[in-house]
Amino acid sequence: MAKENHHRLIILGSGPAGYTAGIYAGRAGLHPVLIQGMQPGGQLTTTTEVDNFPGFEHGVQGPELMEKMRAQAERFDTETVFDSVTAVELGGKPFRLICDSGDTYTCDALIIATGASARWLGLESEQRLRGFGVSACATCDGFFFKGQEIAVCGGGNSAAEEAIFLTHFASKVYLVHRRDRLRAEVAMQERVRNNPKIEMVWDSVVDEVLGDPGAGGVRGLRVKNVKTGALSDLPVTGVFVAIGHNPNTEIFGTQLDKDEAGYLITRPDSTATSIPGVFAAGDVQDRVFRQAITAAGTGCMAALEAERYLVELEEGSHQ
Ligand code: NDP
């Protein structure tokens, strides 16, 4: 049966921002409810080794790191709920959240940490072949391409990391990038350059993913050289798209201020959004850094600000 219940603080999202907010708000005695969303643990559950999170001198697996964060938040009485929010009403008090399960929650303060999702190229052939050789998650799907030739599209850290990871399975990885220089950090570029299984395809965009979902899926990738206009086909059976992310802010519609790319706008040096009592942390409001550690940092800020807001609300200084 659908439930309706009220909490002082609800946190949306279970990445580093959401769980860190849970740890801090839990320790402050706020008994927050954390609604995990469609992908419990967030984007780090789709990566392998995380080498740059402080405290793990030999690195840590992304899913393991997220499990540790969840357990730590729960130790301080954060209640995690496996559900996802499908509609929000932020126009009045309390704020109202309607979940996929039919349950409704209300709260006095809200921390939004819904993160970001993989961006797609937007080609008809890409969408038609999603799940039939086209993927945005190397960790999830790399295993299926043992001994095969595949392509990764993009030039950032994600694309470089995925290309390197996929060489564990594939016989060859084409890294297709629209410019003649990778955006990925220098250390990552070096690793790509030194990997004999990776072949760079510079100055090229995807023109079409070739293949038929009903007949073996992907059987090639048509790329176009942006300098010469020449088309060529790569003999691949898998295509991994790694061209960045879009913030998960659709459910907020026009209720909160966003920038032109859809990121929630927060006040400088703060996680406060355009509605008092609603705070935003992590990739949903950060188009610049987008690191696990920066997400965790803003999750901490959001919890501290939410706590202060609730104290003032309960003392009657907020209307
Ligand atoms: P980025 O935004 O950094 O890179 C996106 C890449 O995709 C760019 O090279 C861009 O090209 C290319 N691109 C974008 N749109 C298109 C398109 N329509 N067609 C073709 N190519 C396109 O995203 P990432 O996901 O790589 O990284 C996001 C953040 O996460 C970054 O801050 C990154 O540092 C971080 N990250 C860190 C990791 C780590 O530290 N281990 C691992 C993975 C990510 P162009 O360069 O021309 O703009």
Q: What's the rounded mean pLDDT across residues 42-51? A: 81
Q: Is the CB of 205 under 6 A from ligand 1?
A: yes
Q: Is the CB of 115 under 6 A from ligand 1?
A: no
47 pLDDT above the threshold of 90: no
Which of helix, strand or coil describes residue 197? coil
Token pair in block for residue 68? 């540790």
More confidently predicted of 278 and 48 = 278
Token pair in block for residue 67? 């499990």
Residues 6+ apart with CB under 8 A from 22: 11, 32, 34, 73, 74, 76, 78, 80, 299, 303
**Rounded distance from Cα 155 to ligand 1 centre (Å):** 6
Share of the chain above pLDDT 70, in %: 98
Residue 225, CB-side half-sphere exposure with 13 Å CA sphere? 11
Q: For residue 178, which of 198, 161, 156 has the smallest C-alpha distance?
A: 156
Per-residue pLDDT tens over the stretch 200-239: 999 999 999 999 999 999 999 999 999 999 999 999 999 9
Question: Which of 158, 174, 181, 223 is the pocket-test mutation for ligand 1 (most atoms within 8 Å of CB)?
Answer: 158
Per-residue pLDDT tens over the stretch 131-165: 899 999 888 789 999 999 999 999 999 999 999 99
Rounded to whole angstroms, the Cα distance separating 33 from 26 reads 9
Query: Which amino acid residue places its CA nearest to atom 3 of ligand 1?
Result: 156
Buried b (16+ CB within 10 A) or exposed e, 163-178: bbbbbebbebbbbbbb
What pLDDT, on the 0 to 100 scale, is given for residue 253? 97
Question: Which of 53, 152, 166, 183 is the pocket-test mutation for ligand 1 (most atoms within 8 Å of CB)?
Answer: 183
Per-residue pLDDT tens over the stretch 235-274: 999 999 999 899 999 999 999 999 999 999 999 999 999 9
